[in-house]
Amino acid sequence: MNTPEFRTATDAVTLGAGVVKRSTRLADGRELIYYDDPGTTLDPDRALDRREPVARPETATMRRDVLTGDWVSIAAARQNRAFLPPAELDPLAPQTPTNPSEIPSLYDVAVFENKSPSFGPALAEAHGDAPAGADAPRGLDDLDAPGLGRTRTSVGRCEVVCFSPEHSGSFGTQTATRARTVIEAWADRTAELSALPGIEQVFPFENRGEAIGVTLPHPHGQIYAYPYITPRTTSLLASIDREGPDLFERILEFERAGERVILAGEHWTAFVPFAARWPIEVHLLPHRHVPDFAHTTDAERDELAPLYLRLLRGVDALYDTPTPYIAAWHQAPVHRGRDTVRLHLQLTSPRRAADKLKYLAGSEAAMGAWIGDIPPEAAAERLRAAVASIPEETL
């Protein structure tokens, strides 16, 4: 790799909590955004990406499953992504002369476009980057239309969110200051991605642990910007139509009055849901209606950082080894359900004992008919004790 050249990343903007956003581009044109902690010791000058540009893969193609109406993205380029590389070849660590990684400079938090995305890089409007002859989705009515053999380009955006330059860890291993920076990044990226042409839903999430299928131990999450409303959210919208527009308000009132609350603050409450599917399942809701991270207040973000850390560390305290999980932040679609779908976390883990996992077999995987292994009230009692064991001064 060539000797690094340095420049100030463009468009430095101060966000909430004193987080500074600095935008730049990688050698192949992908967007890279640094989010600096308040009071960071990092220099504003950042190294240029001196790698030789490599052509990006063509945007994948979606195929419609006529039996369910779901769209399936066929993204063959993902077969080439990194798989459990050694620390010295960590693709999410800052670049070194021997590691031509994805991020040129030392960073606090960094977000960049995925090299092998499931959606994108093409967007719904013509930018000269769509595959030849590709037919992008023409709105939700087009995607809902019937017919066999229907295809559309998998337009959208997939981003990687690096929580730290360290080689290992998770969101839960970060400091409260760093967690607050990541939350600010989620809010900023939600707003930016929601404004892109053809985007219908934005989904921040973290996969943690090899049991979940994680291929990089580096502490990171992802954000998907979909060209459709996901099946899970489509089902949620149908439930709101059935139950009423105040569904989330009533769920929160119901759970806060019961025995499954794990922890609560002024702005957020975490609980094991009444009909939990997974051995470990926790939902986290804001107390007021907000459709997504972009609409949370500074006070809500400030409280969320230590509260979320306490929850994740409590989940890890259940056993002697770190717990695998999916931390899924559900947000309202960009154009539908803004007044009824509330931002919320659904954290799930297949771990049902220290050395046992719940596998989705015939009933769950084939029919979607779930069987819970642990009563939600018992799971909540264990989680409350685990969360209470986390010392306040460690957050």
Q: Do the first three CATH levels of 6-227 and 232-394 match, i.e. the same topology? A: yes
Adjacency order of strands within the sheet including 71-74: 71-74, 61-64, 151-153
What is the model's pLDDT at position 11? 72
H-assigned helices in the chain = 140-144, 176-194, 231-243, 247-256, 298-316, 367, 376-388
What is the model's pLDDT at position 128? 40
Specify the CATH architecture of the domain 6-227: 2-Layer Sandwich (3.30)
Length of the chain: 395
Domain ranges, ordered by start, for the chain: 6-227, 232-394
Please name the residue that has the structure tokens 């992908």: 30
Sign of the CA dihedral running 87, 177, 223, 331:
positive
220 among known catalytic residues: yes
CATH for 232-394? 3.30.428.10
Residue 17 phi, psi dihedral angles, 5° rounding: 60, 15
**pLDDT tens digit string along 331-364?**
999 999 999 999 999 999 999 999 999 999 899 9
**pLDDT tens digit string along 41-68?**
999 999 999 999 999 989 999 999 999 9
Of 127, 218, 220, 344, which one is the catalytic site residue?
Answer: 220
**Non-local CB neighbours of 28 within 8 Å, separated by 6+ positions:** 53, 54, 55, 56
**Within 10 A of 53 (CB to CB), how many other CB atoms are there?**
11
Burial class of residue 362, CB neighbours in 10 A (0-12, 13-18, 19+): exposed
Q: Which of 119-128, 280-289, 304-313 has the lowest mean pLDDT?
A: 119-128
